[in-house]
Amino acid sequence: MHSDLLIQLQNGNKRALARAISLIENDSEGYEQLLESLNFNRNIPIIGITGPPGAGKSTLINAFTKYLINLNKKVAVIAVDPSSPFNKGSLMGDRLRMNEHFLNPNIFIRSMASRGSLGGLAPKIFEVADLLKAANFDYIIIETVGVGQSEIEIASLADTTVLVLVPEGGDEIQTIKSGIMEIADVFVLNKSDRSGADSFFKNLFSLAHNNASTEWETPIIKTVAHKYEGLEQLFEAIEKHQKANIFSNKKNLLLAEKAIMLIKNIRVKDLNFEYIFNDLKEISKNKNFNIYRYVKKYIN
């Protein structure tokens, strides 16, 4: 058992936390017991920040983290790196930007690879988020690049999902992938210093607020991330959403989705892609090959 580790991480020991995360990521001995012994007596918000590449998410998180630190909050930031080679550059930029925060005892930063799950979240992100909660952070921020399924997935993990948009492409808000508008609890219109920001805002406003029946009116916060503008408004919007959230049904829905996801993960744990790939490469040459009969041997 890792009871020492648990105590250390609950006391805010960042090295213990990093070790615990690795333990979980690697399915190391005792990781299940560690998770089972966590307790959650504080209501710590998970803030998901998503949006297209280049929208300024990392810049915003960097600025917002500073803002929160000045309010004496302890902040954890998880950046979910897509394993795609195309994002290496931006990742380096993030590292440099966040560097100044690494030594601050009230900030914990970690990146996790979205291994395998195409464009999705990192495989152990739910478990890691729970570790962070146990480590007594006040704010947990998770950045995901808005590609593939990650926006949808982040909405099932985060208590408040912030969708970062930029006034690019002029009035073409309609180009936002369908299903994405709905996941936002808060819109951020970053790069509000750009021309066209006002008309983009108006369009977004009418698009976001044409559904009068919802209980939560999704606010639109204008920010200029690299100039630290709009942070207070963002903070207030998130806080307001957290309070509204407590009385909403969303928390219960999220909990059910989370349970189903964890069960699914445990059930598929022994499925090895490489093994099945090689197995199929041979078997499928057979004229009588049938994939439904093939998968049957993995069921029950």
Ligand X SMILES: Nc1nc2c(ncn2[C@@H]2O[C@H](COP(=O)(O)OP(=O)(O)O)[C@@H](O)[C@H]2O)c(=O)[nH]1
Considering only 2, 191, 222, 241, the residue that binds ligand X (CB under 6 A) is 191
The answer to whether residue 58 forms part of the interface with Mg ion (CB under 5 A) is: yes
Q: What does 157 bind: ligand X, Mg ion, none (CB cut-off 5 to 8 Å by kind)?
A: none
Q: What does 168 bind: Mg ion, ligand X, none (CB cut-off 5 to 8 Å by kind)?
A: none
Considering only 50, 190, 218, 245, the residue that binds ligand X (CB under 6 A) is 190
Task: Candidates 49-57, 254-262, 265-273, 291-299: pick the segment binding ligand X (CB under 6 A).
Answer: 49-57
> Based on CB atoms, which residue is closest to ligand X, 76 or 221?
221
Considering only 57, 74, 124, 222, the residue that binds ligand X (CB under 6 A) is 57
**Distance from chain centroid for Cα 86:** 20
The answer to whether residue 53 forms part of the interface with ligand X (CB under 6 A) is: yes
**x-or-dash string of contact with Mg ion, 16-45, rule CB under 5 A:** ------------------------------
Task: Candidates 27-35, 175-183, 223-231, 280-288: pick the segment binding ligand X (CB under 6 A).
Answer: 223-231
Spatial separation of the C-alpha atoms in residues 10 and 137, rounded to whole Å = 10
The count of residues interacting with ligand X (CB under 6 A) is 16
Question: What one-character-per-residue DSSP string does the chain give?
Answer: --HHHHHHHHTT-HHHHHHHHHHHHTT-TTHHHHHHT----S-PPEEEEEESTTSSHHHHHHHHHHHHHHTT--EEEEEEE-S-GGGHHHHHHHHHHHHTTTT-TTEEEEEEE--SSTTS--TTHHHHHHHHHHTT-SEEEEEEESSTTHHHHHHHH-SEEEEEE-S-STT-GGGSPTTTGGG-SEEEE--TTSTTHHHHHHHHHHHHTS-TT-SS---EEE-BGGGTBTHHHHHHHHHHHHHHHHTSSHHHHHHHHHHHHHHHHHHTTT--HHHHHHHHHHHTTSTT--HHHHHHTT--
Considering only 19, 38, 67, 90, the residue that binds ligand X (CB under 6 A) is 90
> Based on CB atoms, which residue is closest to ligand X, 138 or 168?
168
The answer to whether residue 92 forms part of the interface with ligand X (CB under 6 A) is: no
Cβ at position 192, least distance to ligand X in Å: 7
> Based on CB atoms, which residue is closest to ligand X, 14 or 191?
191
| Terminal C-alpha separation, the chain | 30
The count of residues interacting with Mg ion (CB under 5 A) is 2
- Residue 56 phi, psi dihedral angles, 5° rounding: 105, 20
Q: What does 45 bind: Mg ion, ligand X, none (CB cut-off 5 to 8 Å by kind)?
A: none
The answer to whether residue 193 forms part of the interface with ligand X (CB under 6 A) is: yes
Which one, of 150, 16, 31, 165, lies nearest residue 81 by Cα?
Answer: 150
The answer to whether residue 223 forms part of the interface with Mg ion (CB under 5 A) is: no
> Based on CB atoms, which residue is closest to Mg ion, 81 or 127?
81
The answer to whether residue 150 forms part of the interface with Mg ion (CB under 5 A) is: no
The answer to whether residue 245 forms part of the interface with ligand X (CB under 6 A) is: no
The answer to whether residue 93 forms part of the interface with ligand X (CB under 6 A) is: yes
Q: How far is CA 108 from CA 100, 125, 159, 285, in A?
A: 12, 15, 19, 51
Q: What does 186 bind: ligand X, Mg ion, none (CB cut-off 5 to 8 Å by kind)?
A: none
Query: Footprint of ligand X on this chain (CB under 6 A)?
Result: 53-59, 90, 93, 190-191, 193-194, 224-226
